[in-house]
Every structure is written in structure tokens, then in C-alpha cells.
Amino acid sequence: MSHPQQTAVPELVVHEATVRFAGLTALDAVSFTVAPGSIHALIGPNGAGKSTSFNVLSGVYRVASGSVRFGDAELTSLPPHRIASLGVARTFQNIVLTRGTVADNLMLGRHTLTRAGFTATALRLPSALREQRRHRERVREIAEFTGLGARFDTPVALLPYGDRKRVELARALCMEPKLLLLDEPVAGMNTAERLAMARTVTSIRDALGISVLIVEHDMGMIMRIADRVTVLDFGRLISDGTPEHVRKDPAVVRAYLGKES
């Protein structure tokens, strides 16, 4: 599946991002760079600052200091909808789906790309109908690509857990992002579902050329698919490098096991 816009994917540069809540430092001068078209993992024990990082990148939290640049755009002062319009899409740990079919949910991902106004759509003007048809064709393509083709007209309430997680991923892809933020995409899945999702994430990078930033507790998956890994612990960056480098880093071993092995 090709990316219809084929626009250049910018570099994401997080520079000394600091976030504080009522005197508690949730992120402490964290810096890392997501190279264009790479799978970059953000890992760490519970409370390390991973969710805080995602909330900063998607505009939910503001930094006390530091910057987040996506190409030429400074994200730290922008609201979530502006960040989304720059090509940053996010999935959530907890599945957030509406009622209706897989197709209905995926069409929601197109709202930022829809040009026809509400009135034109409501009056079913030819231009609006043509645009809707184009969006629906693209949504079906993305459903096929993410393994949901056969479920396209199925109500999401009837889908097994793994497929519902897949709908969440597909809906984010429907925004045609340049950077995809995946928040624990295989949490709660069985082994077969995890392997299938890992293959899907890799194919997204390979086929679309977009960047993927992934928060995940499944270390086996991360070490297999990530090009680079950033490790946080208590809001601080403790390691950053290839999976091989990070796996052997004594600071990482200590953070996860409480001792060096």
C-alpha cells in the first residue's frame, strides 16, 4: 500500500523536555531523536515517564522547559488538533472505539483530511459525495493492509480483542500520519496476536515509510522490531541506542531487575 501524499517525513527532535506536576518532575530534561522512517521504542519500568512523553508529543501536556520539534514545527505550544494536522497520529493503551462498524470507526480517522463542509455533506452535493467515496476507498485499502479487510462491515462490538486493537491502529493510519505514536499496541494480546501486530508495525514502516514511536512492555517484540530504543527511568533518560546496545547496558539491567546481572 502506498502513502498517497508521499511527502517527506520529518525528524522528531525532543530536546531537554521537562514536565512537572505539583512539584513532582515527571520528565527530567529528556532528549531523543526519532529518525525519519524508523521504528523507535520508548521503554522503561512503570512510572518511568513514557505516557508523559506521549502526552507531550500529542499536545495533551505542556513542557515546563525544553522543546519538541517535528521538522520545522515546534510542537510544545500547539493544541492536539494542530499537532494531528501536522501528521502526528496516536493510539491509546485503552481501546477508544465508537459504536458502529469497522468502516465507521476508520472513517472517523479521515475527519482532519475532509475538505467538504458540513452543509455540502448534509445536502449530499456531488463534490462532497465524490470526496466521501474517495475517503471510503482509501479506508478500505487501509483495512486490507492492517488485516481488517474481511471485518470491514462488522460491528466493532463483535470483534475479538486483538482485532479491536487493530481497528485503533488502522484508524490512526487513516489520518495519513508521518509519525505514528503507538501506546502499548500488543498489551493484553495472546502470542499469535502479538506476532501478527509486530509484523503489521514493521510493514507500516516498510510500505509507508513513516516513523513509528512505540511504547511497549513486550521486550521481545521491541528488541526484534525497533531500530533504536530510548530507555527512561523515574523521568530520566538512562540509555539510548540500538536494541543490542540497550540490552547490555548495566543501567537498563539495574532499572528492570533492581541489580546488575
CATH class of residue range 1-87+177-261: alpha beta
- pLDDT for 104 beyond 50: yes
Which residue is it, cell 506521549?
Answer: 54
| pLDDT for res 120 | 47
CB atoms within 10 A of CB 126: 8
For 183-193, write each residue's pLDDT tens digit.
999 999 999 99
For 111-143, write each residue's pLDDT tens digit.
655 554 545 455 566 666 677 788 889 999 999
Lowest mean pLDDT among 99-113, 175-189, 221-235: 99-113
- For residues 240, 245, 246, 252, the Cα torsion angle rounded to the nearest 10 degrees is -110
- For 213-221, what is the mean pLDDT? 93
| pLDDT for res 260 | 44
pLDDT-based confidence at residue 67 (cuts at 50, 70, 90): very high
Helix H segments across 75-154? 80-85, 102-108, 118-122, 126-145
In terms of average pLDDT, the best of 119-123, 185-189, 226-230, 252-256 is 226-230
pLDDT-based confidence at residue 199 (cuts at 50, 70, 90): very high
- For residues 145, 148, 153, 156, the Cα torsion angle rounded to the nearest 10 degrees is -130
d(CA 164, CA 159): 6
CB atoms within 10 A of CB 177: 24
- pLDDT for 213 beyond 80: yes
Could you give the 3-state DSSP secondary structure of residue 72? coil
Please state the length of the chain: 261
Percent of the chain with pLDDT over 70: 87
Domain locations in the chain? 1-87+177-261, 95-159
Q: Looking at the chain, which runs of residues are DSSP E strands?
A: 12-21, 24-34, 39-43, 65-70, 73-74, 88-90, 179-183, 211-215, 228-233, 236-241
- For 25-43, what is the mean pLDDT? 97
- For 44-67, what is the mean pLDDT? 94
The rounded mean pLDDT for the chain is: 88
| pLDDT for res 108 | 86
Lowest mean pLDDT among 9-18, 112-121, 195-204, 231-240: 112-121
